[in-house]
Every structure is written in structure tokens, then in C-alpha cells.
């Protein structure tokens, strides 16, 4: 009886330890999501507890109930094997996520440097260190991936960012959008740039950076537009123009003569967002540049 109660406690602990993994994938909230390292540590503790329980079952099992003891031991062994499998999988995911974050951050930093070189008034020394892609220091348990919803007309009005807005945030964004819709792209690009500086990390910031790129592109400022598209693509939280920003960043880099970087952007779009509406355009642009 003592062994069965202890086994129930261990199994319950296993359920409580593993449950946040699925919840974090659905919620995505930094306050509730556990890191992979936390979950791995809990699995390790649980594995040790199961080993102790298995030892107790082997040494204290009564001769009058061999079937029950054997069945319980088999279940403990099965739990141990599953914990080992999950721990190995978590370590694999940790490695892959860390590698992706590191590579992505390095690419964004390289693009920022190259684009700054193309702008006459850009000071390379002021760029600073590129923020970690995705935010934070270490990658968290990834949320369920969803494709961004892209409107058919980027100038159709205000955009909902899915988060809480500051008091004047929506009004400032609408003012910049009104200038864009009126054809005053110079004023619009300035207003969108000011918006991004005033509300860093806001729910509309990525959209403002994308629209700044649109306004700059209409003025023929390709390098400046590329920087805005890059900022929109790498922004946290992501906006609704993520794939469109990536497509136009690739096109701008190609126009500036950075063919290899342009091909990388198109490949990233095709790989990361295979179901997005921009896939066909990316394939056509990739073929036009002669990407390998």
C-alpha cells in the first residue's frame, strides 16, 4: 500500500511537471511559460524518484503478490524510459532553438551593418549590439506557430496589433496612416519612424516600421526602406506584415546589388512561411535573381 501511494504521488508529480509544456505552447505568456531548462530539471528529479521507487519495489515486494509487484515495476520502468526520452528531446530542442536564435541574430546584425553602410547619414558606431532574435537572453518554450494575417491593402486604415495600447498610441498610428493614405509619404515615413521610437515593443510598432518602409520605398529611398522592412521583420512582438516585410526586404536587397543576402531572405520566407500568400512572389523573385 505504501508503495502504491508513493507511485501515485510520483505519477501525479510527473503530470504536474509535464503539463506546463503544453500550456506554454498554447499560451505563449512569459509569466506562465516554463523554460526548457526548468522542465528538464524537473524530469531529472522525477527520474531519480522513480529509480528509488523501483528499488523499493524490488526489495520489499511480498511473495504473496508477485503479479501485482511485477506489473507495478513494469509501469515504473516504462515511466523511466519515457522520462529519458522526453529529457533527450528537450535537450535536442534546446540546442536547435539556441542555434536558430544565434544564427538569426547574427544575420540581422550583419544586414543592419550592410544597410547602414549604404546610407550617407548612418553612423556605424551607433548601431550597438543587435538584440537577441525573439527577445530575452535564452529561448523560451516556443508558442504554437501561426501564419500572420495579411490585409490585402496595407493602407486601408488602422491596424489592430492584438495587445494593449498606450493612451495616444492608436491616435498617433492613425495620424501616420492618414498621411500615407493621403499620398504625403514624406510626412508618413517621418511619423511612422517617430511612432516606432516612441512606442518600442508596442503591439503596433512592427506595423509602423513596415509602413515606414512602404512610405520610404515610394520616395525611392531603397536602402532606408530595407532597414525599415528588416526592423519590421525582426520586431518583437511580430506584426501582421511579417512575411510581406521579408519579401520586400529581399527585393530591396536585390535592387541594392546584395544578391546573396536577397536570396537568403527569399529562402527564409519559403522555409519559415510555406503557406503564406507571398510564396509565389518569393519564388518568382528568386528565379529572377538566379538564386542557387
Task: State the total domains in the chain.
Answer: 2
- Look at residue 156 and tell me if it is in a domain: yes
pTM, rounded to two decimals = 0.51
- Look at residue 137 and tell me if it is in a domain: no
- Look at residue 70 and tell me if it is in a domain: yes
Do 102 and 222 belong to one domain? Answer: no
Q: How far from chain centre, in Å, is Cα 68?
A: 48
Q: How far apart are CA 257 and CA 240, in angstroms?
A: 28
Do 170 and 261 belong to one domain? Answer: yes
Confidence of residue 208 (pLDDT cuts 50, 70, 90): very high
Contact criterion met (CB below 8 Å) for 72 and 7: yes
Q: Give the end of a domain, one of 106, 137, 162.
A: 106
Verify cis geometry, omega within 30 degrees of 0, for the bond prior to 237: yes
Do 197 and 254 belong to one domain? Answer: yes
- Look at residue 130 and tell me if it is in a domain: no
Contact criterion met (CB below 8 Å) for 196 and 208: yes
Do 6 and 73 belong to one domain? Answer: yes
Do 12 and 86 belong to one domain? Answer: yes
Instruction: With both helix axes pointing from N to C terminus, report the angle between 205-218 and 169-181 in degrees, rounded to the nearest 10.
Output: 20
Average pLDDT, the chain: 72
pLDDT digits (tens, 9 = 90+) for 54-97: 665 555 544 444 444 456 777 777 777 777 777 777 777 777 77
- Measured in Å, how far apart are the chain's first and last C-alpha atoms? 67
Whether residue 191 is predicted with pLDDT greater than 60 in this model: the reply is yes
Q: Taking Cα atoms as reference points, which of 238, 211, 34 lies closest to residue 147?
A: 238
Do 74 and 160 belong to one domain? Answer: no
Range of the structural domain that residue 35 is part of: 2-106
- Look at residue 158 and tell me if it is in a domain: yes
- Look at residue 23 and tell me if it is in a domain: yes
What is the chain's alpha carbon radius of gyration, rounded to the nearest angstrom?
26
Amino acid at each position: 500500500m505504501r508503495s502504491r501511494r508513493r507511485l501515485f504521488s510520483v505519477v501525479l508529480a510527473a503530470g504536474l511537471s509535464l503539463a506546463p509544456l503544453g500550456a506554454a505552447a498554447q499560451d505563449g505568456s512569459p509569466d506562465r511559460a516554463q523554460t526548457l531548462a526548468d522542465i528538464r530539471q524537473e524530469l531529472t528529479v522525477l527520474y531519480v524518484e522513480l529509480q528509488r521507487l523501483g528499488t523499493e519495489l524490488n526489495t520489499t515486494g511480498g511473495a504473496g503478490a508477485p503479479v501485482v509487484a511485477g506489473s507495478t515495476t513494469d509501469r515504473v520502468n516504462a515511466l523511466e524510459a519515457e522520462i529519458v526520452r522526453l529529457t533527450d528531446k528537450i535537450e535536442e530542442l534546446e540546442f536547435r532553438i539556441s542555434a536558430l536564435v544565434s544564427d538569426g541574430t547574427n544575420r540581422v546584425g550583419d544586414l543592419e551593418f550592410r544597410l547602414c553602410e549604404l546610407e550617407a547619414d548612418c553612423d556605424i558606431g551607433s548601431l550597438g549590439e543587435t538584440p537577441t532574435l525573439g527577445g530575452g537572453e535564452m529561448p523560451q518554450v516556443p508558442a504554437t506557430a501561426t501564419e500572420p494575417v495579411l490585409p490585402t491593402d496595407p493602407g486601408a486604415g488602422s491596424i489592430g496589433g492584438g495587445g494593449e495600447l498606450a493612451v495616444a498610441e492608436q491616435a498617433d498610428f492613425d495620424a501616420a496612416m492618414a498621411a500615407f493614405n493621403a499620398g504625403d509619404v514624406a510626412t508618413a515615413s517621418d511619423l511612422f519612424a517617430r511612432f516606432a521610437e516612441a512606442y518600442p515593443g508596442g503591439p503596433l510598432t512592427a506595423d509602423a516600421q513596415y509602413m515606414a518602409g512602404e512610405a520610404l520605398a515610394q520616395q525611392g529611398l531603397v536602402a532606408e526602406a530595407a532597414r525599415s522592412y528588416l526592423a519590421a521583420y525582426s520586431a518583437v512582438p511580430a506584426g501582421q506584415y511579417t512575411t510581406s516585410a521579408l519579401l520586400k526586404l529581399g527585393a530591396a536587397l536585390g535592387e541594392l546589388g546584395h544578391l546573396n543576402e536577397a536570396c537568403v531572405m527569399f529562402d527564409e520566407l519559403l522555409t519559415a512561411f510555406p503557406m503564406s500568400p507571398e510564396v509565389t512572389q518569393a519564388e518568382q523573385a528568386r528565379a529572377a535573381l538566379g538564386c542557387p
